[in-house]
Structure 1
Amino acid sequence: MDQTPLVTIVIPAYNVAEYIDECIASATNQTYKNLQVVIVDDGSTDNTFERCNVLAQADSRICLIHEDNAGLASARNKGIESARGKYIMLLDGDDTIRLTAVEKLVQCATLHNSDLVVFDLCAVDSQTGELLPRTVMNPLPFPQIKQSNGEGCLHQIYSGHIGNYAPGFFYRREIFEKGGFRFSSDVLFLEDVNFVNSILPHIERIAYLSEPLYIYKCNRSGSLTNSKSVKQVRSAFSMLQRVITERKNTDADFPNYAVNLLFFLISCLPSLTDSDSKSLYHEVEKAIIGLSSSYFSRFDSHLKLKVLCLDLHLYPLFLKLHRKTRTLRK
């Protein structure tokens, strides 16, 4: 068995010139050297591409691809399709990985003959450099198990032990080749929710590595996770409706997970005053009430309170107070 298989790190990059050098350095300076680093510049309008090009000229392991702006899903897919490694790791252009990450992930995947390895993440405030509590990413501790199948992994996601974040997995490339799995370009927000719920039911062998090998940057100015249009939120809502239909009877923790995501969509609406936002708000509200009518007893106390506020038409006030509290804390 090859103990040093080629590993491809896929880096989608869009307007991350301030962060991209550190991101790429965390990939190319790995203790594990047999790497292909595929950077997909998604039509950046700053000098991200120029920075990547300088670094690509200096390291033959870097493959730089430029495409017109088509979104995160398209950029990741382009990188996956260009991958030559036995394994694929996803790294967003404003994040970094520990220098021992690939070495440890290859060891874990080899030891357990895994199709996927799930590993832990940590969050850092990009403005201050402060290491943030793990609860910023996931409310519960990383699973204390070594292996499971895909349904077992989804249970860990639904119960809050690991997140929906696609870069939190180390993939055997065969998964993409044989299963044809890709990120959906039709989903403009919460792409990873759609992806993990699509791919994981088909995975047989998953290993778990509790070390926080991925460093996620929070509070980045201009980040794709900071502001959302009604179009993006509606795209995510349509996707969630499909996922709910397919998955609602598969796991006891799924309804709690799904309703939390629906509330998150409401919090991402740019306003609750314009007609498009109000219309979408009421559609999401209806979906929450519909799920709650069957599964309310399974919800935790905080979620029950939010549902009751929504049912009494008090949730906009609840949300306003929540946002005000967050602003004051900053």
Structure 2
Amino acid sequence: MSIFLFRCIRKLRLHALCYRLLYPFCRSTFGNVEENATAAARRLAVLHPDVNSTSLYKNRMMQPFAYDLQIIIPAYNAGPYIEECIESVLSQRTDFSMLVTVVNDGSTDDTLSVLRKYEERKDFCLINQENKGFSGARNAALEQIRARYIMFVDADDKIPRNAVDVLMRTAIRTNADIVEGGYTRFTDDEIISTFRHREQTKADWRILYGFPVGKVYKSYLFADVHFPPGYWFEDTICLYLLYPRCRKVAVVSDVVYQYRQNEQGITSTSRGRIKTLDALWVTRRILADSRRLGICPTSSLYDAFLQDLQINLTRFVSLDETVHRDAFGVTAALLREYFPGFR
């Protein structure tokens, strides 16, 4: 019921009004928790500890780069879809040189045997490792960066044949640090929805969405950053560590990514699980990493922080009310520490 109510408030754009009406009550109710954020964090850690793994890591830049674009595909038990994904990448219509790096992350199905069929290709690199999760798989490929630009594709998704050419031509023409395109969501039977950007190039990175796919990145952005191991919601590095270091970003109207609606993915299966507290822990960890990288707390970053908290609320909403209160206390402490003086 609370999830339905929350979504209705968002759809009706009543969240600002609700805030103004409820602020005095919330202030008095949660005030003691705010003052005791350390104790709140300790109680939450009993339920689900913070793995406390950093996003800062020195990847090896293999310069001079041998390729224009390195496409990284993490694969775990992706047998039903991996071949369709690989074929969509290898069949790109483009003159840009590509290296497709696929990381078999300890699959126990036939994923590895499918990938073995491509091993002899010069534009294909297979990394086979024990299971290390989504972050560990992407990071294995990032340890040796061999191209000027990087792109991520998930093993159950695919990309249209013009995706690389559209993104790379825009990147070269605009000299943007990140270029993002539109996407479709599909099932085995039909296309569910399509999203397209209005084309623009700006210094304001808030025109980008928070997921890592459907984009090309200048590889320098990953020279000292990788995905923090052990967390769910590791994509949070986009908002706090990658986007704020961009001088210029661009979006294109073309659909460049095809996202398979996966009912077994984290987004669908995480609701009500205590590990969703990773959303709080990873935000705390990455904010600390952003400070170590010298990223300034700008208004754009503050907006991203507030949006991140709004998303976290939808992840925590099925958890116990005591968890909500403690998460609020920790979050309020993060706001005071990293964004003092912001409205």
TM-score under structure 2 normalisation? Answer: 0.67
Which structure 2 residues correspond to residues 22-33 of structure 1 after superposition, within 5 A? 22-32=84-94
Which structure 2 residues correspond to residues 168-183 of structure 1 after superposition, within 5 A? 168-177=214-223, 180-183=224-227
Residues 102 and 241 (structure 1), Cα distance of their counterparts in 2 relative to 1, 3 Å cut: same
**How far apart are residue 264 of structure 1 and its match?**
2.1
Which structure 2 residues correspond to residues 96-175 of structure 1 after superposition, within 5 A? 96-124=158-186, 126-134=187-195, 142-148=197-203, 152-153=204-205, 155-156=206-207, 162-175=208-221
Query: In the alignment, which of 253, 265, 270 is matched to residue 223 of structure 1?
Result: 265
Following the alignment from structure 1 to structure 2, what is the Cα–Cα distance between the partners of residues 31 and 100?
6
Following the alignment from structure 1 to structure 2, what is the Cα–Cα distance between the partners of residues 77 and 289?
31
Following the alignment from structure 1 to structure 2, what is the Cα–Cα distance between the partners of residues 237 and 258?
9
**SS, match of residue 60 in structure 1:** coil
Residue equivalent to 1:48:
111
**SS, match of residue 56 in structure 1:** coil
| 222-231 vs 83-92, greater mean Cα deviation | 222-231
Residue equivalent to 2:299:
250
Following the alignment from structure 1 to structure 2, what is the Cα–Cα distance between the partners of residues 30 and 109?
17
Following the alignment from structure 2 to structure 1, what is the Cα–Cα distance between the partners of residues 197 and 73?
25
Following the alignment from structure 1 to structure 2, what is the Cα–Cα distance between the partners of residues 248 and 176?
20
Query: In the alignment, which of 236, 239, 251 is matched to residue 208 of structure 1?
Result: 251
Residues 9 and 90 in structure 1, CA contact (< 8 A), matched pair in contact too: yes
> Are 1:280 and 2:323 an aligned pair?
yes
Residue equivalent to 1:16:
78
Query: In the alignment, which of 38, 42, 61 is matched to residue 101 of structure 2?
Result: 38
Residues 47 and 127 (structure 1), Cα distance of their counterparts in 2 relative to 1, 3 Å cut: same
Following the alignment from structure 1 to structure 2, what is the Cα–Cα distance between the partners of residues 130 and 8?
28
Following the alignment from structure 2 to structure 1, what is the Cα–Cα distance between the partners of residues 311 and 134?
20
Deviations 1:104-157 (A, max 9, x none): 122111111222212222222x243323253xxxxxx73552232xxx11x33x
Residues 38 and 82 in structure 1, CA contact (< 8 A), matched pair in contact too: no
Residues 38 and 83 in structure 1, CA contact (< 8 A), matched pair in contact too: no
Following the alignment from structure 2 to structure 1, what is the Cα–Cα distance between the partners of residues 285 and 221?
23
Residues 277 and 316 in structure 2, CA contact (< 8 A), matched pair in contact too: no
Give the letter aligned to residue 142 of structure 1: H
Please provide the CA RMSD for this pair. 3.2
Residues 279 and 312 in structure 2, CA contact (< 8 A), matched pair in contact too: no
Following the alignment from structure 1 to structure 2, what is the Cα–Cα distance between the partners of residues 207 and 133?
19
Give the letter aligned to residue 183 of structure 1: F
**SS, match of residue 74 in structure 2:** strand
**How far apart are residue 241 of structure 1 and its match?**
4.1
Residues 67 and 99 in structure 2, CA contact (< 8 A), matched pair in contact too: no
Following the alignment from structure 1 to structure 2, what is the Cα–Cα distance between the partners of residues 80 and 264?
31
* Bigger relative contact order, structure 1 or 2 (CA pairs below 8 A, ≥6 apart): 2
Query: In the alignment, which of 143, 152, 157 is matched to residue 95 of structure 1?
Result: 157
Residues 160 and 258 in structure 2, CA contact (< 8 A), matched pair in contact too: yes
Residue equivalent to 1:259:
309
**SS, match of residue 18 in structure 1:** coil
Residues 53 and 221 (structure 1), Cα distance of their counterparts in 2 relative to 1, 3 Å cut: farther
**SS, match of residue 100 in structure 2:** strand
Gaps of 5+ in 1: 135-140, 157-161, 293-330
Aligned residues: 265
> Are 1:73 and 2:122 an aligned pair?
no
Following the alignment from structure 1 to structure 2, what is the Cα–Cα distance between the partners of residues 199 and 221?
28
Residues 234 and 280 in structure 1, CA contact (< 8 A), matched pair in contact too: no
TM-score under structure 1 normalisation? Answer: 0.70
Give the letter aligned to residue 35 of structure 1: M
Give the letter aligned to residue 104 of structure 1: V
Residues 221 and 245 in structure 2, CA contact (< 8 A), matched pair in contact too: no
| 91-100 vs 48-57, greater mean Cα deviation | 48-57
| 65-74 vs 243-252, greater mean Cα deviation | 243-252
Residues 173 and 242 (structure 1), Cα distance of their counterparts in 2 relative to 1, 3 Å cut: closer
Deviations 1:171-205 (A, max 9, x none): 1223323xx1211114x211112333112211213
Give the letter aligned to residue 232 of structure 2: F
